[in-house]
Amino acid sequence: MQTIKTAVIGLGVISEVHFDYFKNLEELKLTAVCDINPERVKTAAEKYRVKGYTDYRNMFEQEALDAVLILTDHFSHYPIAMCAFEHNVHVLCEKPITVRSSQAQEMINMAGKKNLVLAVDFCLRSIPHYKKIADIIHHRLGKILRADIIETRYFRTMAYYKSAVWRGTWKGEGGGILMNQAPHILDLIYWWFGQPEKISARLANKHHDIEVEDDVEIFMTYPEDARLRFYSNTWETPAGEYIYIVGEQGILSVNDNEMKFSAFERKIKEIINSPSDSLKDQISHTEKIEKETIPFSSQYEITKNFIDKLLGKTENLLVSGKDAAGSLLMANAAVVSHMQKKEIILKNFHPSEFDQQLEMLTSGKQRLTSRD
């Protein structure tokens, strides 16, 4: 049986989630682990009986690797991935792909040049009810007219932000909820609807003593004036998820664990011009959709898909580098939109605009302020 010799770089909390399902991927052969913390390296190397390193450059030089799983801080994804590509190693990267869209494109270009695979662990794509939402959007709703997505499952205390010096800082994370928690939902939006034509955003720091945003609202405009609003924060509890999508052929709604789809008899334009004044008369049926559980962690399917791609068992990645760069561009544009108080036309947006803005924020020359 062919196996993929794989290393893990970054041995923080999330690494245990990945190590746990490795036993169910017999074609993945864990070969080495790496972290800047020697104690973490020693513990993991002994536990999994593999070689341990504190410098990823040394590891790439000394190990004959096929693939690497990058689980480090946001800013280090780019240099580690580029080093991996230089050593002809395929990359599966934790979200976000990196902080800057400009660097994400360099990663994609390098992987393409070397004929290597670049995948990103946006694991919500492996969850059954999000797959069902994608199927309904793409095949049953018809032309999308509007959508409202509210995600407040990311509550964080100040103890969380104080647990590491890099948390809640521009220099350490490159942003707040937009760069740390909300990328998962931005990825779903990119998957479900594609990239919008225009973005206007409002960021705020409402309830935490941190540099970055703990509250975000993004207004997106799609072709034919379809509108989408996305809102999320890290201060609200109890948690909740609300999705409401209106298409010309039906309405899809998700309210926490309750999910349903109402199909129209005819397109909404025809209903509006019909002699009946009751929408109820125009609904052909409403179906409740059960949320399914999955046997392994949501990360498992992403990694299995990555390994299958390397072994030639599948042509398609669940989340490619290009996919991840698409949602990252939306996040970068949202920061610039807020800080410069303007709507961003994405086809005219250059990644260097975010790079310059981030430099102002990390240097302290600018601070996050409210947008009037």
The predicted-structure confidence for 309-339, as pLDDT tens digits, reads as follows 999 999 999 999 999 999 999 999 999 999 9
Query: Could you tell me the domains of the chain?
Result: 4-122+297-315 (3.40.50.720), 125-294+326-362 (3.30.360.10)
What is the pLDDT, as a whole number, of residue 342? 96
Nearest to 118 by CA among 131, 105, 101: 105
At how many degrees (to 10) do helices 128-139 and 183-193 cross? 30
Cα 237 to chain centroid distance, Å, stands at 22
Measure the CA–CA gap between 55 and 62, rounded to whole angstroms: 11
What is the pLDDT, as a whole number, of residue 284? 75
**pLDDT greater at residue 280 or residue 274:** 274
Sequence-ordered list of residues with C-beta below 8 angstroms from that of 307, at least 6 positions apart, any chain: 4, 25, 27, 28, 67
What is the pLDDT, as a whole number, of residue 290? 81
Average pLDDT, the chain: 94
**Is residue 275 very low, low, confident or very high in pLDDT (cuts 50, 70, 90)?**
confident
Structure tokens at 305: 């898909």
Measure the CA–CA gap between 200 and 342, rounded to whole angstroms: 7
**Could you tell me if 50 and 19 are in contact, meaning their C-beta atoms sit under 8 angstroms apart?**
no
What is the pLDDT, as a whole number, of residue 333? 98
Measure the CA–CA gap between 272 and 345, rounded to whole angstroms: 32
Measure the CA–CA gap between 199 and 211, rounded to whole angstroms: 23
**Could you tell me if 70 and 91 are in contact, meaning their C-beta atoms sit under 8 angstroms apart?**
yes
Handedness of CA 74, 77, 79, 80 (dihedral sign): positive
DSSP 3-state percent helix, strand, coil across the chain (nearest 5): 40, 25, 35
Structure tokens at 13: 């909390």
**Could you tell me if 110 and 173 are in contact, meaning their C-beta atoms sit under 8 angstroms apart?**
no
pLDDT in tens, 80-96: 999 999 999 999 999 99
Residues belonging to the chain: 372
Cα 225 to chain centroid distance, Å, stands at 25
Structure tokens at 12: 């923080």
Vertex 164 angle, CA 159 and 167, to 5°: 85
**Could you tell me if 320 and 305 are in contact, meaning their C-beta atoms sit under 8 angstroms apart?**
no
Measure the CA–CA gap between 259 and 292, rounded to whole angstroms: 11
Nearest to 130 by CA among 251, 254, 302: 254
How many CB atoms lie under 10 A from the CB of residue 209?
10
How many CB atoms lie under 10 A from the CB of residue 207?
14
pLDDT in tens, 7-33: 999 999 999 999 999 999 999 999 999
pLDDT at 287 over 90: no
pLDDT in tens, 117-153: 999 999 999 999 999 999 999 999 999 999 999 999 9
Q: How far apart are the first and last CA of the chain?
A: 61
What is the pLDDT, as a whole number, of residue 371? 61
Amino acid in position 197? E
Measure the CA–CA gap between 22 and 16, rounded to whole angstroms: 10
